[in-house]
Amino acid sequence: MNRTFLILLMVGVAMVIAVIGQEPPLNDLDYQPWDVNRLDNGSLHVLGITLGKTTIQEANQIYASFAKTRLQDLSSANDTHSHQLIAIYDELSIGGLIAKIQLGYQLDSETLSKVFKNATVAENNHSTENQVRLYEIDKKDEVSLLNTPISSVTYIPTIDFGEDLIRQRFGQAIEELVINKEKQLWFYPELGLQIYIYANEPDRFVFSPLK
């Protein structure tokens, strides 16, 4: 085995190791959060999801990624509790930007209570809005709920759009509520949208049927 062949072999092995060590690139999804369509039946279609129709399993196919399912236990200031089951995509490339997507399961309170009984504490998430405790749910429950329709879409970009760009893309909000110096809440009822604008954490764009 000559020296030239050994050098080429070593270079080839090094290249293979480098490729294996790299994380696979994210597929860029051709969606934008401001492209919101109101369908003839009144449903909202945004970020590839039709609320009340698209299921969690279909969302995994649309986003080419498997969501992490968590049960949220929201403890508000008056010590009341409510639960919400969400599918979390921690890192998606959407319209050229990296963002987190959270999808709400369309479930009744009785089903959520049953899921909660089999859940175990996963992690704590301290947010501006509420003290949020996250639970891992039983795998059998997770599989059985894959065909559940989606009730809400929360889009959390990794960059700050800024108020001017938000108004440019979404238009003037019906109401811009200043909650405190750290947080604002903007309402776009025609888009089924509420935007939580934070001073020190990523903004949240929540699409759901507004009552």
pLDDT tens digits for 29-63? 999 999 999 888 889 999 999 999 999 999 999 99
Decide if 3 is inside a domain: no
Please tell me the pTM assigned to this model.
Answer: 0.81
**Best CA proximity match to 207, nearest among 26, 37, 8, 3:** 37
**Contact status, residue 155 vs residue 95, Cβ threshold 8 Å:** no
Which domain range does residue 81 map to? 23-171
Residues in the chain: 211
Instruction: Indicate whether 80 pLDDT > 70.
Output: no
Residue 201, both tokens: 């954490």
Domain-embedded: residue 207: no
Q: State residue 210's pLDDT score.
A: 62
In a domain, 199, yes or no: no
Q: What is the mean pLDDT of residues 75-80?
A: 50
Supply the mean pLDDT for the chain: 84
- The total number of structural domains in the chain stands at 1
- Check whether 102 has a pLDDT greater than 90: yes
Assigned domain for 108 exists: yes
What is d(CA 113, CA 84) in angstroms, rounded to the nearest whole number? Answer: 10
| Higher pLDDT, residue 74 or 199 | 199
Look at residue 179 and tell me if it is in a domain: no
Enter the DSSP assignment of 64: T
Instruction: Point out the least confidently predicted range of 15-29, 130-144, 191-205.
Output: 15-29
Residue type, 52: G
Residue 203 lies in a domain: no
Which residues sit opposite 193 in a β-bridge?
188, 207
Tell me if residue 182 falls in helix, strand or coil: coil
162-207 pLDDT tens trace? 999 999 999 999 999 999 999 999 999 999 999 999 998 899 999 9
**pLDDT for residue 22:** 46
Place of tokens 């970020």: 47
Of residues 7 and 185, the one with the higher pLDDT is 185
- The answer as to whether 156 is a domain residue is yes
**65: which DSSP letter?**
S
> Greatest CA span in the chain, whole angstroms?
78
User: Does 17 or 193 have the greater pLDDT score?
Assistant: 193
The verdict on residue 177 lying in a domain is no
- 182 or 10, higher pLDDT: 182
